[in-house]
Structure 1
Amino acid sequence: MSADPRHHLGRLGERIAAEHLERRGFVVLARNYRTRWGELDIVAHDGERTVFCEVKTRRLGSSSTPLEGFREAQQQRVRKMAVGWLQEHPDRPHTAELRFDAVGVTIDATGRLAALEHLEGVF
Structure 2
Amino acid sequence: MHCPNSGQLGEDLVAQWLQSTGWIILHRRFSSRWGEIDIIAEYTRKAEEAEEAGEQGSRGAVREFSTQQSLLAFVEVKTRSSGSWDVGGRSAITPQKQAKIWRTAGIFLAQYPEKADYSCRFDVAIVYCQRISKNLTGVTANQEALATSSVPGYKFKLQEYILAAFDSSIDNG
Q: What is the rounded CA distance, in whole Å, between the counterparts of 2:83 and 2:16 in structure 1?
A: 24
C-alpha separation in 1, matches of 2:81 and 2:15: 18
| Residue 69 of structure 1: how far off its partner (Å) | 1.5
Give 2:82's match in structure 1, choosing from 42, 60, 67.
60
User: What TM-score do the two structures reach when normalised by structure 2?
Assistant: 0.62
Contact 1:39 1:81 in 2 (8 A): yes
CA contact (8 A) 2:110 2:116 kept: no
Offset of residue 7 of structure 1:
7.0
Higher alpha-carbon deviation: 58-67 or 41-50: 58-67
CA RMSD of aligned residues (A): 2.0
Which residue of 125, 143, 155 maps to 1:112? Answer: 155
Q: Percent identity?
A: 29
How many correspondences in the alignment? 118
CA distance in 2, matches of 1:93, 1:15: 26
The runs of 5 or more residues in structure 2 that have no matched partner are: 45-69, 132-152, 167-173
What SS does the aligned partner of 2:106 have?
helix
* Residue 90 (structure 1) shift: 2.8
Q: Counterpart of 2:98?
A: 75
* Higher Rg of the two aligned structures: 2
Decide whether aligned partners of structure 1 residues 77 and 7 sit closer, same or farther in structure 2, where only a CA change above 3 A counts: farther
Residue number in structure 2 paired with 1:40? 37
Partner Cα distance (1:67, 1:16) in 2 = 18
Q: Which one of 24, 29, 50 corresponds to residue 27 of structure 1? A: 24
Q: State how far apart, in whole Å, the 1-side matches of 2:115 and 2:72 are.
A: 10
